[in-house]
Amino acid sequence: MHEMSLCEAVVDIAVEEARKNGAIRIKSVVLEVGVLGHVDPAALAFCFTAVSHGTLAENARLVIERVAGSGWCLDCAKTVPMSERFGACPACGRHHVQMTQGDELRLRELEVE
């Protein structure tokens, strides 16, 4: 389960940033998670609870915002929605689509006190 190592990194970054800014507690963490990124949001939430135990992020609310997949079709020169990594372009049907969004895992926001 790679979600555990992802959460460890997220909590480490969040705690480091909170400490840099003099925070005593992290109240919420907002993550952007791409739908094409092979990350299970339920597993991520479970792991976050376990990994944040004993840190400034313990009992923090985790908000996961899903980011839709999109890509650039090299054949028809259009930005198109993507529902799978190597799928065909929904406009022309060809398979020359370069993913531009939907694979990210980004710590977007921290609420601290």
Reference 101, options 74, 113, 83; nearest CA is 83
Please give the backbone phi and psi of residue 54, each rounded to the nearest 5 degrees, phi first: 85, 5
pLDDT tens, residue by residue, 65-100: 999 999 999 999 999 999 998 999 999 999 999 999
1 pLDDT more than 90? no
Architecture of domain 2-112: 2-Layer Sandwich (3.30)
105 pLDDT more than 90? yes
Query: What confidence category does residue 8 fall into, taking pLDDT thresholds of 50, 70 and 90?
Result: very high
pLDDT tens, residue by residue, 49-65: 999 999 999 999 999 99
The CB-side HSE value for 73 (13 A sphere, CA atoms) comes to 17
Q: Is 35 left (phi over 0), alpha (psi -120 to 50) or beta?
A: alpha
The Cα–Cα gap between 11 and 110 comes to 11
pTM listed for this prediction: 0.87
